[in-house]
Amino acid sequence: MVKEIEKAGITVVQMCNLIPVAVTVGANRIVPTISIPYPLGDPDTPKEQQWKLRYHRVGVALDALTQDIDEQTVFKVKI
């Protein structure tokens, strides 16, 4: 799906946990998530912490959409 979206010229960032798979499949902008069942918020942590993590990582993904890249790029996250 990510390739079809990008093929259409729409800038796309994939947020996922299995980075090697996304790289193999051919996603160009990739932002890591924390797990498969809860990509953007660990249920064992307080709600506020989950929100902070999600806000941060989605922010990284949005910024990734604005960055010119010349190869497949996995963007760094801080939390």
Partner 1 sequence: MKAIHYINQFFAGIGGEEKADHKPEIREGLVGPSLALNSMLNAEVTHTIICGDNYMGSNTEEAVNTILGFLENKEFDIFIAGPAFQAGRYGVACGTICKAVKEKFNVPVITSMNEENPGVEMFKSDVIIFKGGKSAAKLRNDVKVMADYANKILAGEELGSADEEGYFSRGIRSQVWLKSGKTAAQRGVEMLIKKLNNQPYQTELVIPKQDRIPIAPAIKDLSKANIALVTSGGIVPVDNPDRIQSASATRWGRYDISGTDDLESGVYKTIHAGFDPAAADADPDVVVPVDVMKAYLKEGKIGKLHKYFYSTVGTGTTQAEAARMGKEIVEKLKEDNVDGVILTST
- Angle made by CA atoms 54, 24, 16, in degrees to the nearest 5: 10
Q: Is 55 in the site for partner 1 (CB under 8 A)?
A: yes
Question: Does residue 32 bind partner 1 (CB under 8 A)?
Answer: no
Positive/negative CA dihedral, 50, 68, 5, 35: negative
Scanning the structure block, which residue is given the tokens 């796309």? 12
Q: Is residue 19 near partner 1 by the rule CB under 8 A? A: no
Residues that bind partner 1 (CB under 8 A): 1-18, 22, 24, 26, 28-29, 33, 36-41, 43, 50-51, 54-55, 58-59, 61-63, 65-71
